Structure 1
Amino acid sequence: MDDPAHRWPVSYPKTSQNRATLLGPPNRPPETRGWGHPEGSRILRFAGCHVSPSPGEWARSQVLQAVARDYPSQDAAAVMSILDLYGSDASEPGRVRVQLAILTLSHGDLEELRKLVAHAKRDYRDVLYWTELAQEVRDPIGGRFFEAMLVPALTPARLALLKETVPEVTRVAVFWTRGYPPHRAQLVALEAKAQELHLTLRPITVARAVDLGSAFVTMRREQGDSLIILTSMMLQFHLRELADGALRGQVPAISELPEFPRVRGLMSYGPSVAAMRRRADASAENLVRRLEHEELMDVAAGRPLEPELVINLGTARALGITVPPSVLLRAAEVIQ
């Protein structure tokens, strides 16, 4: 996050308070926090004999299996070379656990892998924390910061923008999380806008990351021809999977987060990165004021929200969509 060239979601948390919520004090060995160690030992068959692998061999095999799962075989050597940069220094703890976390977050993207390894070398706890959030572990403090950065009021405008970009859409799927309070209000606002635009909404619940595959199956079964993704703490770590699923299904999709079109989603419309950071800073200041019993700030006050439209024209071409000039002229960023 220190490098502005990094393209991770702007909302990746990195405060020590948030990490402590999930991981415990940093001086505890990483093997005793979060994931823990698998129990028991696996028995390998070798030359007709049962051989118990050493703990180091077993751990290494987990990394190799994850690489084989997420990356093409021709990239395996390069992936391992990059991964092994973490742990090359004796001061870098939890080598296997951190490497597995990096693989989980990289989603088969070599460039993302390099960035995550570089960040882990600066502070491995951030990478472990992000992985816990991606696996649906809730963090009340981080969740409040995240929600402070978003602007649910723009959700109906995203629906209108999607309709303007692809006028032929009629049945819009909405990926939302039933237990996430901000989403209910957004659904109500979307229903009103859908009636105005003569569209049919198909809300589809995505409570866990493992639900994404079945959500796309449901969308196809219900003949959804477009998609709106309501942002949540968990879904922000799966934007690439969402973009890939929409592209495979030949469905135009829009998100609030500008990272979405950067990972091959069609478009995003939401507050600028600068505005999101200002709102997060104000939310952090309010947390301190609350603890000190001082008057709270208005997070939404101050400079305007500066909503920005980001469009991926490569994805539009792959979907057979010609983006209208009226939409292109409003784009703050166009990805070719």
Structure 2
Amino acid sequence: IGAGLVSSINRPTGNVTGIAPMFALLGTKNLELLHELAPKATVIGVLANLSNPNAEHQAKDLEAAARILGPKLVVLAGSNEREIDSSFATFAERQIGALVVTADGFLISRRDQIVTLAARYGVPTMYPLSQYVAAGGLMSYGANLSNAFLQTGIYVGRILKGAKPADLPVLQPTKLEFVINLKTAKGLGLTVPPTLLALADEVIE
């Protein structure tokens, strides 16, 4: 809606429909989970591709959560590989004790770089998708991409059979998943509280 592609979720009206992963609405939960695992982090970095218009919406959601939970947020540029490297290099100077990676196509394509840097700098990091955790990241909370792709395929089939995109509501994820990598937590010297383990949909050991 913010990008002007559709007029509403339930009734797109234009010739566009699809799947809305709700990334901009998950900031509070992401920050809560990260804060529970790294409560001593008073400054939390937010890695974002600032060339993506959706980055602003995600940052605002995180800022609203930070006002409740207390930590200071620092937005870090991640629009290209060099910016990602440079942003991590400022962690000590900025006293960043934890990190949230925002949802973005470019950033997930650089997940190996980001996960490696998070380990190198010893920073507990929350990711938007489980693909980061499978690559060695600490933990993620967000949409199940496999389920989203399945929903997309169903819509494509309906459109090919003659359905109008304007008549198909924009779908939102039916499944959100919380994934933790215990091996990564151990490498960071973190003990995952039983309360977090109880919430996890998947635990990687």
Equivalent runs, 1:167-246 vs 2, <5 Å: 167-246=39-118
Which protein is bigger by CA-based radius of gyration? Answer: 1
CA contact (8 A) 2:18 2:155 kept: no
**Distance in structure 2 (CA, Å) of the matches to 1:146 and 1:164:** 34
Q: Note the C-alpha offset of 1:156.
A: 1.9
Q: Note the C-alpha offset of 1:227.
A: 0.4
Q: Note the C-alpha offset of 1:284.
A: 4.5
Q: 1:332 to 1:247 in 2, by over 3 A?
A: same
Equivalent runs, 1:75-90 vs 2, <5 Å: none
**Alignment-derived partner of residue 194 in structure 2:** 325
Are residue 312 (structure 1) and residue 177 (structure 2) matched?
no
Q: 1:296 to 1:160 in 2, by over 3 A?
A: same
Aligned counterpart in structure 1 of residue 153 of structure 2, from 268, 277, 281 = 281
Equivalent runs, 1:15-164 vs 2, <5 Å: 148-149=20-21, 151-164=23-36
State the secondary structure of the residue aligned to 1:295.
helix
Aligned counterpart in structure 2 of residue 300 of structure 1, from 171, 192, 197 = 171
Query: Deviation digits for residues 276-328 of structure 1, max 9, x if unmatched?
Result: 224433665698699x8553312325xx6321111110110011100000000
CA contact (8 A) 1:204 1:218 kept: no
CA contact (8 A) 1:204 1:219 kept: no
**Alignment-derived partner of residue 95 in structure 1:** none
**Distance in structure 1 (CA, Å) of the matches to 2:169 and 2:97:** 39
State the TM-score, normalizing by the size of structure 1.
Answer: 0.52
Task: For CA contacts below 8 A with separation 6 or more, give which structure has more relative contact order.
Answer: 2
Deviates more, 1:280-289 or 1:323-332: 280-289
| Identity level (%) | 28
**Alignment-derived partner of residue 165 in structure 1:** 37
Q: Note the C-alpha offset of 1:232.
A: 1.0
**Distance in structure 2 (CA, Å) of the matches to 1:225 and 1:147:** 34
State the secondary structure of the residue aligned to 2:105.
coil
Equivalent runs, 1:4-15 vs 2, <5 Å: none
**Distance in structure 2 (CA, Å) of the matches to 1:221 and 1:282:** 49
CA contact (8 A) 2:19 2:171 kept: no
How many residues were matched structurally? Answer: 190
What is the one-letter code of the residue matched to 1:297?
A: L
Unpaired runs of 5+ residues, structure 2, are 1-15
CA contact (8 A) 2:19 2:148 kept: no
Q: Note the C-alpha offset of 1:259.
A: 1.1
**Alignment-derived partner of residue 269 in structure 1:** 141
Runs of 4+ in structure 1 off by over 4 angstroms are: 144-147, 282-290
State the secondary structure of the residue aligned to 1:329.
helix
What is the one-letter code of the residue matched to 1:179?
A: S
Task: Name the Cα RMSD after superposition.
Answer: 2.6
Aligned counterpart in structure 2 of residue 257 of structure 1, from 129, 135, 159 = 129
